[in-house]
Chain A
Amino acid sequence: MEVIDGNSAIAEAIKQIGPDVVISYPQIPSISILESIASFIANGEMDSEFLNVDSDYSAMSACIGVAASGGRAFTATASQGLALMHETLFIASSLRLPIVMGITNRALAAPINFNADHSDSMAQRDSGWIQIFSENSQEAYDNIIQAFKIAENKEVRTPVMVGIDSTFNFNVHENVYVQTNDEILEFENKPDSNYSILDIENPKTVGSFCTPDYFFEHKINQNKGIESSRKIIKDVGREFGDRFNRYYGYFETYKLEDAEFAVILMSSAAGIAKKAIDAMRKKGEKVGLLKLRVFRPFPYKELRESLSNLKSIAVLDRVLTPGTYGGPLFIETMAALYGLEKRPLVYPYIYGLGGRDIMLKHIEDTFDDIKKSFNNEKSNFEIKYINLRE
């Protein structure tokens, strides 16, 4: 057990996995992940190559080069850096390169801000990457370990980004179970990649020009990778649990089984939501939580099963996507539930932009709100903003 923050937990996982190349460009606050790794290398604790590059755009481009050469590549970024990578993210996933990236989720400018929100990752939701979100340091560590195994699976071969909320300005140190190096190596069991553009005996043309004759089929083939990950993510999460006693699936439910009302959200706000639910349960309220871990691929079938018996649901998005009816999590949840004959009422909420606090009372108010709406006292399906100054 170590007492560390989320970025250190990610660095610790990377030290144990020892990717071939770690690529670094400074962004606040993800850079501390890379600084820790640089210091491990400087002290001989790991022997990965470390590349300091000229931009996040070059960082992802170098990851593409490493992965296309059969190597394990890791980088970390946040916010503006992730936005600058946007173009190359599509290339990495289309070329089926199993890159793993840590994201300290941070608001996108303007105005510039260093605190938690999901606008950076959500702007990449169609980039073809698997997207996993972590509630705390422990999950960040566990998710990074699992990410390589998911990404490198032969059926999957799709890059993975693992998010953890920015804790800039905070000092959130938590207890983290760190497995031994041997345990991690045994779990990873990395197969030697047989696909490499350094394989000079078998010349390859990677990244061709493609006309309408073939483009559509290429994209459908690519999609098979992330679709295959649905099973692999579950398998890897179960194997991880069997080995280390911490089980993972597409999402975590908290007191949801008999709940009538639920909140859905991702990442760090789950902690306060669980506390609010405990408090309300003591008063006899049937409330619960669904914390989504895997946003891509979106687990629509499993959500249907878990949510169908609820009366109403508040979907809390930590991102504002201007001009849409609710945030991405709301829209996707609505789409998933629409096929049900009897479905819960679903309400869109936006919270926590640029690191705005969300507290116990906000979760309680939200539950009260959807309860009233359900009971038709004041049915209102418009977007609501939590803890926004009037």
Chain B
Amino acid sequence: MITLKELTNKEDLFVSGHGLCPGCGIPIILKLVLRATEYPIVISNATGCLQIASTKFPATSWKLNWIHSSLGNAASTISGIETMYRVLKKKGKLQTDTEIKFLAIVGDGGTNDIGLSSLSGAIERGHDFVYLCYDNQSYANSGGQRSSASPIGTSTSTTPTGKVLPGKLQYRKDITKIIVAHKLPYVAQTAPWNWEDLYTKAKKAFDIEGPAYLNVLNPCPKKWGIPSNKSIELTRIAADTCVWPLYEIEAGKNINVNYKPENKLPVTEWLKSQNRFKHLLNIENRWIVDEIQDEVDQNWKWLLKQEKRGINN
């Protein structure tokens, strides 16, 4: 296993000067992911915080080949690039001898909502690429609107809490499980508090042939209402409460739950840590907390059960 020191000694391909917020998880996630392969990477980045903050013309934070087309088509864009790579390789016209890796980077809005068809199609066609979703559970770049990844009860700018409404009324879409249904070679869910887990999964995703999907919980200090110096460690509470379990599914069959908290905390520990949820602790919203706890418990039980039996049994 690689050490942190060894990791730090690797070249940074995403460099400073970008405008991402203090405490944003993206640069930390990205630095781990970009270090997880020795091969050159070509990136297709959807519209969003990362794209806007890293490429303010004429500057760029990217020391590799990077393209942005739009919000909903990063996966279909990378499928065109990866296909062209195969064409050039077949014809012997590639300008380099080395293998190239392909990475799509998209937020939860571009993944769960407007880009779902593009993502699903690219996985179904079996392109050899890694899809990285940085999931901050809202449309953060456009001001923190509800996405289908926002959990029930979240106060967002389009599902605000008010005198009669308690925030978002619907459950979040479990995108990881939707992706698992494509029976692709590799799917993983991870979070930046556990750098080793994140790095290892990114490495597996790059090494495996065919499509691989990584769903990474990305803390957003601004929209979550958390102190920027606590954002990374806060994602650990998501794992300790089992709100955001770390797991992976290989070859559409074997499921590994990579972190099992010794002392599973109640979801209120997660909810009380963020302004977007704090209204849920009021007595009249108790039913929402109960529903969240119930959903989290069921999902956790399911994961542990499937780990023993295999995902398809």
Which A residues are closer than 8 A to B by beta carbons? 20-21, 23, 49, 51-55, 57-59, 61-71, 73, 87-88, 91, 95, 192, 196-201, 203-211, 214, 218
Contacts and interface: CB of A to CB of B under 8 A. Distances in A.
Interface residues of B, number: 47
B70 A61 contact: yes
B118 A61 contact: yes
B80 A65 contact: yes
9 contacts: A20-B87, A55-B121, A66-B83, A197-B81, A198-B81, A200-B42, A200-B95, A200-B96, A209-B51
Main SS at interface, chain B: mixed
Contact of B70 (A59, A91, A211): A91
B56 interface: yes
Contacts of B158: none
A49 B86 contact: yes
Given A53-B121, A58-B118, A205-B62, A63 B73 contact: no
A198 B94 contact: yes
Contact of A65 (B76, B93, B117): B76
B247 to A, nearest CB: 27
Given A64-B77, A91-B70, A200-B65, A21 B96 contact: no
B44 to A, nearest CB: 7
A199 B77 CA distance: 17
Given A55-B117, A200-B65, A206-B66, A61 B88 contact: no
A65 to B, nearest CB: 2
B78 interface: yes
Given A51-B83, A66-B81, A198 B88 contact: yes
B68 interface: yes
Contacts, number: 163
B80 A62 contact: yes
A23 B55 contact: no
A159 to B, nearest CB: 14
B57 A208 contact: yes
Q: B52, B80, B81, B117 — which one has the most chain A CB atoms within 10 A of its CB?
A: B80
A244 B29 CA distance: 58
B57 A61 contact: no
Contact of B85 (A69, A73, A204, A211): A69
B64 A53 contact: no
A64 B121 CA distance: 16
A178 to B, nearest CB: 25
Contact of A20 (B57, B65, B73, B84): B84
B100 A61 contact: no
B161 interface: no
B42 A51 contact: no
A199 B95 contact: yes
A199 B124 CA distance: 27
Q: B70, B72, B77 — which one has the most chain A CB atoms within 10 A of its CB?
A: B77
B68 A206 contact: yes
B208 interface: no
A53 B79 contact: yes
A214 B51 CA distance: 17
